A and B are shown apart, each in its own frame.
Chain A
Amino acid sequence: MIEDWLGRKEVCICCGSGGVGKTTASAAIALGMAARGKKVAVLTIDPAKRLANSLGLDELGNEERLVEADVEGELWAMMLDPKRTFDDIVEWHAPDERTRDAVLSNRIYQELSNAVAGSQEYMAMEKLYELHQEGRYDLLVLDTPPTRNALDFIDAPKRLADFIDSRSLQFFTAPGIFGLKVLGRGSGLVFSALRRATGIDLLEDLSAFFSSFGSMTDGFRERAGHVNELLADSRTAFVLVTSPRADAIEEARWFHHRLMDAGLPFAGAVANRVRPAPPPGDPAPELGELLEPALTRKVLRTWEEESQLAARDRDNLATLKRRLGRKPIIEVPYIDDDVHDLDGLRRMDQYLFGANDG
């Protein structure tokens, strides 16, 4: 069960493909650990409105809020705002106000920090690292962004560091396009090609961006290194959230593979919305006695469909289990209504924190 996975952990990262209930699972894990006496903060990306409301996140903000959850410990929640986090980091690293303003108002920076792909993942990691450094919580639970390449965040710190690597930046720190001419024939060819492909304005903006960003490179690099260390630390646990659908299982296998490849501390998987195996026996004769024939037929049809889907869930989970080797899978059964309030989260608790490890 989750409590064993997270015993002395300080960071729990919930990853998985979109649409498997990752946000809900993250919130339920956080609430459960808070109920067991921990001071927990859950960092979420895009909760359903009702869940956001019940977590007190109806207002956008980049700060944690205390959730009134009536628990032994404390549950805090925050909605990540990648753009704000990015701005905060620039302020943090900028050597002076002029550089800060130059970066914040640069069009390239504005597009970069607003772009959905990449920066959101990195900023989630950044905020996680920052909160962990501050050490105000026993446990941080991170709901990762719902991107297709949801493991991008593993590479994100390194990619960003590479991108602003000073060795490539030196090409751009020369003022304007004319400064680029001094770079020698190879680069000259590159830049004349670039000019043809892009137009000069873009390059000037880039040059301005890189020259003001350049002064912050080392700070960024160092920080990205720390973020990576935290991800691989034994105090961190990766929890894979999946559903028993074939496509989700396929992605979970891929996620697991990536986590292993990257040497990250994988704790186990949570399979959401699993249909329980039907009890043995044919319900038809008894139903026939209890109900009208027409209604019996309808009930039996539903029964057959559910049994088929339950069998499919079994098969898919068995496949996943083989892949995960000795790592545990916790199954959370299908809960009738969507889970989007504290009561719903509490209903998940018995499964997440019960003793039903596979």
Chain B
Amino acid sequence: MLVTGKGGVGKTTVAAALGLVAARAGKRTVVCEVAEQERLAAMFGTSDIGHSELELAPGLFAVSVDPERAKEEWLGYQLRSSTLAGVLGGNRVFQYLTAAAPGLTELVTIGKVWDLAQLERRTGGSVFDLAIVDAPATGHALAILRAPQTFAAVARAGPIARQAERIDAFLHDSAATGVLVTALPEEMPVNETVDFERGLRDELQMKVDAIVVNALHPARFSAADARALDSLDGRGGPSARAALRAALSEHARARAERAQLRRLRRAVSAPVSTLPRIFEPELGRDELEQLSAELERRL
């Protein structure tokens, strides 16, 4: 399961909440961070998450995919010799080549995730029922999903092509791989979500399985409430006036957000669910549990 979305919309939060849902349902789940984000560690109050799986909660693991390490693992597997992989990995020309080979980082990253989700892992690690990828911004997510195809095409034949084709087939198998987009009910994230769904369909013939709109403000005030508040304009002391302004501003936001949500629903074919905004200064384990319960109800 790939979770993506524009920067700052709460991808990691949704990925983690989803992980909790799956783990509670008895699935051995691993959440993969792929871009040195290390946000999960803070949310679960654990030590830093490394390239090997770390258990965050019963049945829920996390891994932070390090492209360099993934590259080494991949080489070791391809060459079936860690000595040779070491020689190659330490070679300057090879380093240039791999830095140069565009999309190789993306390929080994998605390859690592693919490996995590296999019944028999090449790297001999433990088996997972579900791997959730906390993917970078949507443009980058497309690059990651495109990488196996690119490599299969560029390499044409040989082991790279074969493996890239297998990963590509896995990604295209809608029973095996799902794509979830996280968005906020705001102009830019909605646009990006719409564009991403189109890009995924046109370029990769894949579909978005679900869209989760995060942090929706509650519709706390009715239109009548707003009129009542509006009519008080200018009355009361500084703090009362500020409170009234805050209430009206919240009402305006809630309305604008619902307009964006309607626009999103009209423009996409994937089902759209929402998560409420949580008014906590920083999200921690408790808030994640709360969100995962919401997610479970809505998805």
Q: Which of A114, A201, A291, A306 contacts B155 (CB 8 A)?
A: A201
Residue pairs across A and B with Cβ atoms less than 8 A apart, 20 shown, are A112-B102, A116-B139, A116-B142, A148-B35, A148-B37, A148-B140, A190-B88, A202-B155, A205-B154, A206-B97, A206-B101, A278-B242, A280-B239, A281-B238, A283-B239, A286-B239, A290-B240, A302-B243, A302-B247, A336-B256
* Interface presence of B75 (CB below 8 A): yes
Interchain CA distance A283-B156 in the complex, whole Å: 70
Contact status of A303 and B91, CB under 8 A, knowing A200-B158, A286-B237: no
- Please classify the interface of chain B as helix (H, G, I), strand (E, B), loop, or mixed, using the class held by over half of its residues: helix
Docked pose: A302 CA to B137 CA in angstroms: 31
A199 engages B155 (CB within 8 Å): yes
Interface size class of B (residues with CB under 8 A): 35 or more
Which one, A165, A308, A336, contacts B253 given CB within 8 A? A336
Which of A17, A117, A199, A300 is in CB contact (< 8 Å) with B7? A17
Our pick among B6, B36, B78, B236 for the contact of A197 (Cβ within 8 Å) is: B78
Nearest residue (CB) in B for A248 is B8
- What is the distance, in angstroms, from A4's C-beta to the closest C-beta of chain B? 29
Task: Judge if B159 is at the interface, Cβ distance under 8 Å.
Answer: yes
Confirm or deny: A318 has a beta carbon within 8 angstroms of a beta carbon on chain B.
Answer: no
CA distance A339 to B153 in the complex (A): 42
In the assembly, what is the distance between CA of A292 and CA of B281, in Å? 29
In the bound complex, residues from chain A placing their C-beta under 8 Å from that of B228 are 291-292, 295
Q: With CB as the reference atom, state the residue of chain A lying closest to B77.
A: A197
Q: What secondary structure prevails in chain A residues at the interface with B?
A: helix
Asked if A299 and B94 make an inter-chain contact with CB atoms under 8 angstroms apart, the answer reads: no
CB < 8 Å: which of A149, A165, A298 contacts B247?
A298
| A102 at interface, CB cutoff 8 A | no
The answer for the CA separation of A316 and B153 in the assembled complex, in Å, is 48
Looking at the assembled complex, report how far the CB atom of B212 sits from the nearest CB atom of chain A, in whole angstroms: 16
A residues at B contact (CB < 8 Å) = 17-20, 48-50, 107-108, 111-112, 114-119, 146-149, 159, 162-163, 165, 168, 171, 187, 189-190, 193-194, 196-202, 205-206, 243, 245-248, 278-283, 286-287, 290-292, 295, 298-303, 305-306, 308-309, 311-312, 336-338, 340
Q: Which of B150, B156, B186, B244 contacts A111 (CB 8 A)?
A: B150
Docked-complex contact B94 and A19, CB < 8 angstroms: no
Q: Which residues of B are found within 8 Å of A279, using beta-carbon distances?
A: 238-239, 242
Q: A48–B236 contact, CB under 8 A?
A: no
A17 touches B238 (CB 8 A): no
Q: Residue-by-residue, is B273-286 near A (CB-CB < 8 Å gives 1, otherwise 0)? A: 00000010110000
Whether the pair A163, B150 counts as a contact (CB closer than 8 A) is: no
Partner of A303, one of B159, B188, B243: B243
Give min CB distance, A291 to chain B, whole Å: 7
Task: A92 to B94: give the CA distance in the assembly, Å.
Answer: 29
Decide if B7 touches A19 in the complex (CB within 8 Å).
Answer: yes
Contact, CB under 8 Å: B92 / A168: yes
Q: Cα distance A111–B105 when bound, in Å?
A: 13
User: Roughly how many angstroms separate A301 CA and B256 CA in the complex, as a whole number?
Assistant: 20
Determine if B155 and A20 form an interchain contact, defined as CB atoms under 8 angstroms apart.
no
Contact indicator per residue, chain B 247-270, by CB within 8 Å of chain A (1) or not (0)? 101101100100000000000000
Among A119, A159, A163, A283, the residue within 8 A (CB) of B240 is A283
Is B79 located at the chain interface by the 8 A CB criterion? yes
Q: Indicate if the CB atoms of A298 and B143 lie closer than 8 Å.
A: no
Report Cα–Cα, A297/B36, bound state, in Å: 43
Contact B187 A303 (CB under 8 A): no
Picked from A162, A199, A282, the residue with its CB within 8 Å of the CB of B157 is A199
Q: Report the separation of the CA atoms of residues A201 and B101 in the bound assembly, to the nearest whole angstrom.
A: 13
Chain B residues within an 8 Å CB radius of A299: 229, 243-244, 246-247
